[in-house]
């Protein structure tokens, strides 16, 4: 430890922080932060025309789990997507077309090991990381 630096204890850190939340992360604080989501300036490559991106049906056809339609086979199509039941009825090759999955879950992991249990007089690194992830 440096002789000219004063070590900050957790109780001092909590007292010096304006909300007293510098040492531990409370679930209620993280839930209340959901109203501050507009603070981040997230830039996208393409213009988003709706706020419900991800909750809407995708216009793109692709590999997914939701059946969209059957269509006639065209040379070069993937034979694994052949709709054998329709082909048995019509005696012509048909393919199953699925709706592409566009919504993917995002997991944000915060390191909460001993190395994160220090910081400034305002807050520990673990608290700042949890607030950034929220």
Q: Which comes out higher in pLDDT, residue 68 or 51?
A: 68
Identify the pLDDT of residue 72.
Answer: 93
CA quadruple 37, 40, 42, 48: dihedral, nearest 10: 40
| Averaged pLDDT, 15-23 | 54
Q: Which comes out higher in pLDDT, residue 89 or 51?
A: 89
Identify the pLDDT of residue 92.
Answer: 94
* Most confident by average pLDDT, 11-15, 57-61, 72-76, 122-126: 72-76
Identify the pLDDT of residue 87.
Answer: 93
Where residue 11 falls among pLDDT bands split at 50, 70, 90?
very low
Tell me if residue 89 falls in helix, strand or coil: helix
Contact 16, 122 (CB under 8 A): yes
Stated as kind and residue range, the H or E segment containing 96 is strand 94-99
Q: What does pLDDT average to over the chain? A: 71
Where residue 6 falls among pLDDT bands split at 50, 70, 90?
very low
Taking phi over 0 as left and psi of -120 to 50 as alpha, with beta for the rest, 115 belongs to alpha
Identify the pLDDT of residue 73.
Answer: 93
| Averaged pLDDT, 81-94 | 93
pTM of this prediction? 0.37
Percent of the chain scored above 70 by pLDDT? 56
């Amino acid at each position: 430890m440096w002789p000219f630096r004063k070590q900050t204890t957790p109780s001092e850190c909590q007292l010096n922080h304006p909300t007293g939340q510098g040492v531990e992360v409370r679930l209620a604080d993280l839930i209340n932060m959901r109203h501050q989501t507009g603070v981040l300036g997230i830039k996208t490559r393409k213009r988003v025309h709706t706020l419900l991106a991800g909750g809407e049906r995708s216009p793109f056809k692709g590999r997914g789990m939701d059946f969209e339609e059957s269509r006639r086979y065209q040379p070069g199509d993937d034979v694994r997507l052949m709709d054998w039941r329709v082909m048995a009825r019509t005696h012509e090759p048909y393919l199953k077309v699925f709706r592409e999955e566009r919504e993917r879950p995002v997991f944000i992991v915060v390191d909460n090991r001993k190395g994160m249990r220090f910081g400034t007089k305002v807050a520990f690194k673990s608290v700042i990381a949890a607030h950034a992830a929220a």
